[in-house]
Structure 1
Amino acid sequence: MSILRRLPLRRLTRHHLRSRRFATLAAVRQDTTVWTPTPISLIEPAAESLFHISIDVSDSPDLVSSHTRAGQYLQLRVPDVEKPSFLAIASPPSLATARGAFEFLVKSVSGSTAELLCGLKKGDVVELSQVMGNGFNTDKIDPPEDYPTVLIFATGSGISPIRSLIESGFGANKRSDVRLYYGARNLKRMAYQDRFKDWEASGVRVVPVLSQPDNSWSGESGYVQSAFVKANQIYSPKGTGAVLCGQKQMTEEVTSILVADGVSSEKILKNF
C-alpha cells in the first residue's frame, strides 16, 4: 500500500516541478522585454473599423534606431492591460528619424487590446517594446534592372506594412511593372485612399479589389488572387519578385499561383 500511495505523489511532484520550471522560463522571457512609455500624438479614423494612430517616440532614440526596415513590428501595451498587441509599423523608418513618430493602422476588434487602444485619445501614454522582426528583405529583389516586375498583395489592415514599404522606396520608379493588388470588403473599409496618387507617382500601380462592392463600383471585384489571375501578366518569372501581407488564405494561394507560374519562392517576400 505504501508504494501505491507514493505513485500519485511522485507524479504530482513532477507535474508541479515541470509547471514551475515553465512558469519561471515564461517570466524570464517576459522580463527581457524593455517597455518604453510613449504618448499618443494623433488618433483618428482611417476607414471603417480602422484607426490611424501616431505615437511620439522623439524622446526614445533607441526605439527610433531599432526601426530599420519596412515590415517590422512591435508590441504595444495600454494602461492596466497586461496582454500586449502586436502591431506592424505603417510609417517608413525615415519618418521616425525625421519627425520622431511611429504610425500604425489599427483594426478595432471587439474585446481586444487593439479595441482599447483605438478608444484612447491624444496625450494618453502607451508602452512600446523594441522593434522586432526582419521586415521585407528587398535585397532579394535588387537590383531593379534584374527584377523589373514586383507584384504586391495586401488585404485589410495588411496594407499597413505595405505602406511602409512603398514609402521607404524600393526602386519602384526604376522598374517597368510594379503592381499593388489591395483587397477590402468595400471602399469604406479601404484605408490610405488619399495616398494612392502619391504611390502611383512613385511607380506603383494601385489595383483596388473589393469583395463586396456596391452597384456603383466598376473596378476589380472578388479577391486579390482572382484579380491577379484574371490579369495574367507575368512577362518574365525569373525577373519577378513579390511582396505579400494579409490573410493567410490569400498569402498561401498567391504563393502557389506565383510558384506555379515560375516565380522563385525565395523572391516572394513576407514580413514574418
Structure 2
Amino acid sequence: MFKISAFAKMSGISIKTLRYYDELGILKPSAVDESSGYRYYSADNLLTVERIRAFKELGLTLEQIAPLLQEEGTPDTAAGTLAMKRADLETAIQEAQRQLEEIDRRMQRLEQVGAAAVDGPEAVTLRELQPHWAASVRDTIPRQDLCLLVNEVRDYVMAGGCGTADGPLILLWHDAGGNGEREVIDIEVAFPLEEPTPERGRVRIVELPGYETAASLIHDCNPYAAHCPAAAHVMAWAASQGYEPLPGEPVREVYIAAERDMYGKFRRSEVILPLRGTLSP
C-alpha cells in the first residue's frame, strides 16, 4: 500500500488530481484510515491510472470514462462510448475541413484584391464597363443612415436567393460632387444580380449601364466615412487629361471586397467616373 504522496509520484498524477478522481468515483483509494483520513493506494490503482490515461488519449472526458471503469462496465458499453466519440471526431473533422476551405477562399480573395492594388491615388486608368442587372434602392438620406439602405437591399438579395450578399456592394453617388462631405446625400445602393427578378417594396431591378470610356481608381475606402477624396481625385485627373464626365451619370463606387473580408475599417473599392468619348484602339 502506498500513501497518497508516494502514489502521486509513482503514477505521475498530482495529489490534487487524485483527490478529484476520488470525488468523481473513477479512482478510489484501496483504503482510507478512518482516524486520520489518510488515503492508501495499491498496485491495482496503478492499473486504473493507466486505463484512465489510455481513455483520455482517445479524447474521452472523465464523465465518459467513469462508466467504463465500473464493475458493470462491458465491452458493449465501451463500444458504444467509442462509437459516439468517433462520430464527434468525424463531425469535428468535417467542421475543420469547412473552416480550411473558407480560409483558402478568403486567402484567394485577398490575393485577387491585392493583385488589383495600386501604388497611390495617381494610378487612375481608363477602361470599359459592361452593363449588368442589379437590385437597387435610391434615396436622399443622412449619411449616417447609409448602412440602413445597404441592409435593405442586402435583405432583398438574401431573401430572394437571387444573388449573394458577398457580391460587390455598389454605390451610385447622384450628388453632383460624388461622395463628398455632404451630410445629406442622394445615394443609390445596389447589389449585382445574375438576371432580373421581381421587385419588392422600394427595391427596384435595374440594368446598370455600361460605358465605353470610364476613369477608374482602385483604392482602400471606408464606405461609411464622412469623406473620401478618391472621387474628387478621379474628376481632377479626367479634367487634366481633357476628358469630360458623361452628363447625368453618377459616380459609381464598387466595393471589391465583401464585408466579411474587411480587416480593419477599410475595404478595397473602385471609383468609376463615366466619360464622354471612346477608348483609343
Instruction: Give TM-score, length-normalised by structure 2.
Output: 0.28
Please tell me whether Structure 1 or Structure 2 has the larger radius of gyration of its CA atoms: 2
TM-score normalised by structure 1 residue count:
0.28
